Amino acid sequence: MYHGLYEIKSNIKLTDNVFEMVICGDTSSIKAAGQFINIKLDGFYLRRPISICDFEDGEITIIYKVVGDGTDALSRMTAGGKLDVLCGLGNGFDTSKSGEKPVLIGGGVGVPPMYNLCKRLISEGKTVTVILGFNTKSEIFYEDKFRALGADARVTTVDGSYGTKGFVTDELKNIDYTYFYTCGPMPMFRAIESIATTSGQYSFEERMGCGFGACMGCSCKTKYGNKRICKDGPVLTREEIIW
């Protein structure tokens, strides 16, 4: 974990309430796709945990949805501003288990951590399919960026306004895959669990107090004992999860 001040390079709107922010600072503590940062905002007691979409030496990209006062304040920050950040938190995805044809499944704001994971798997020579699930066409982001990496990117919308009508599972049942990785809401996880044919890894979203395992506020039971989503997760394997 690294703690420091990061400078905002850009903060742009992707959809009506989804923003992409690039911050500059130390990235040495980031070891795997699926880790997250924890941002302190002036006037707010708890930090805001946000998954890392992508990173390279000295830059981190995050994508966040405005859902409350904290993220609204974040959306109004501009280039040149400074953020107090805890970086390199959590246990990310393990790419060694992917097999040759992994499928990545992102639902809404669960899409961002799939991006760096996709980049890593493709660099390892894997054939990657990505399913991006949204409610409607106006909410879609990053479809072209996944394709630019070389992935087979497929989009589902609940209302059928773009791509496959329905849910991510309506597309998953049509794909031949060796392993799955996913991030998104719990109802999506339960639907995936009901039809998935291989092992996989789930990245959980959970309310966090500290973000680094000290407060025990995000503990959950697994088949192998209690685990902290912020420290032992947010990524858990299919085999250890109690549904």
Q: What is the pLDDT of residues 17-39, one digit of tens each?
A: 999 999 999 999 999 999 999 99
Mean pLDDT of 12-21: 97
Helices (H), 138-181: 143-149, 168-172
pLDDT on residue 204: 87
What number is the average pLDDT over the span 143-165? 98
| 80-106: average pLDDT | 97
Band (pLDDT 50/70/90 cuts) for residue 53 is very high
Question: Does the pLDDT of residue 207 top 80, yes or no?
Answer: no
The whole-number average pLDDT for the span 1-5 is 93
pLDDT number for residue 142: 98
The radius of gyration of the chain from alpha carbons, rounded to an integer in Å, stands at 17
Please count the other Cβ atoms lying within 10 Å of the Cβ belonging to residue 11: 19
Q: Which residues are within 8 A (CB) of 4 and not within 5 positions of it... i.e. 6 or more apart?
A: 25, 26, 84, 85, 87
Q: Give the dihedral of Cα atoms 93, 95, 99, 102; nearest 10 deg.
A: 50
Predicted confidence band of residue 206 (pLDDT cuts 50, 70, 90): low
State the average pLDDT over residues 7-20.
98
* pLDDT attached to residue 29: 97
Averaged confidence pLDDT in the chain: 93
